[in-house]
Structure 1
Amino acid sequence: MSDAKVLLLVEDERLILWTLQEMLEFGGYVVIAATCGVDAITILDSRHPEIAGVVTDVRLGVGPNGWEVSWRARELQPDIPVVYASGDSAAEWPLYGVPKSIMVPKPYGTSQMLTAISSIFISSTP
């Protein structure tokens, strides 16, 4: 049995998704990927007990956005760590982001994202 944490990664830009997924898996995480808010919420609804954290872009095209994905995640797991990424929505984070989350502005380096994810898991550990 692996102790690897399972992350839900939500990103509508496939190149960013693949790059980030590869980096997270190299960093020791198991990644469940979704390319839109509808798929992310479906995954959360069916697999939330195994998901240890959510990494989501804010703007996801048509359908639920990253804010809505994180709200659903927190309905299912009130303390689930959330990391947001956005090129234009960082200023909205205090209004729409869930408490004890992190915003990583785009463009970001993959090491910056991995550090943000690692730090939110450390800060959410009892």
Structure 2
Amino acid sequence: MRDAVRVLVVEDEALIASFVEDALSDGGFETCSVHSGEAALSTFRDGREGCRVLLTDVNLGAGITGWELARRIREITPGFPVVYMTSASAPDWKSQGVDGSVLIEKPFAPAQLAAAVSQLLAAGV
């Protein structure tokens, strides 16, 4: 049996982060959660967690946005799989999101998260 794929979850709201972690775990994924774009970038650059997918909220409070975080990660690792979560910023996805990314609008069902991650991995994005 192969190891579960590890997902870097970036969500500044603790309750939503917990919901996302549980949903991904139920879908067979492992998570590494952080609460800011800066912490996510540091975790990604460090590489200790071995994350293979980025699942980020777009609006992360102060600091860099999910849009900017994904662009910076793609500068380091082109083609890295990205899933965005948002409620208010969905219309900006076409202009702000990285190529080949997936957007999930809040509120969403737990199964949508695992499905989006699986879709990206299957597509080899």
- After TM superposition, is the score higher than 0.5? yes
Find the aligned partners of 1:53 and 1:79 in 2 and give their Cα distance.
Answer: 10
Question: Which amino acid in structure 1 is aligned with residue 74 of structure 2?
Answer: R
Asked if the contact 2:12–2:36 (Cα under 8 Å) also holds between the matched residues in 1, the reply is yes
Which residue of structure 2 aligns with residue 108 of structure 1?
108
Find the aligned partners of 2:49 and 2:56 in 1 and give their Cα distance.
Answer: 18
SS of the residue corresponding to residue 47 of structure 2 reads helix
Find the aligned partners of 2:39 and 2:101 in 1 and give their Cα distance.
Answer: 21
Q: Aligned-residue CA RMSD in angstroms?
A: 1.7
Matched, 1:121 2:86: no
Which residue of structure 2 aligns with residue 31 of structure 1?
31
Question: Which amino acid in structure 1 is aligned with residue 10 of structure 2?
Answer: V
Find the aligned partners of 1:121 and 1:6 in 2 and give their Cα distance.
Answer: 12
Identity of aligned residues (%): 34
List structure 1 segments (4+ residues) > 3 angstroms apart after TM superposition: none
Which residue of structure 1 aligns with residue 21 of structure 2?
21
Could you tell me which runs of 5 or more consecutive residues in structure 2 were left unpaired when the two chains were aligned.
Answer: none
Q: TM-score, normalised by structure 1?
A: 0.92
Which residue of structure 2 aligns with residue 56 of structure 1?
56
Larger mean CA deviation between 1-10 and 76-85 belongs to 1-10
SS of the residue corresponding to residue 50 of structure 1 reads coil
Asked if the contact 1:48–1:76 (Cα under 8 Å) also holds between the matched residues in 2, the reply is no
Question: Counterparts in 2 of 1:75-86, with a 5 A limit?
Answer: 75-86=75-86
Find the aligned partners of 1:76 and 1:48 in 2 and give their Cα distance.
Answer: 15
Q: TM-score, normalised by structure 2?
A: 0.92
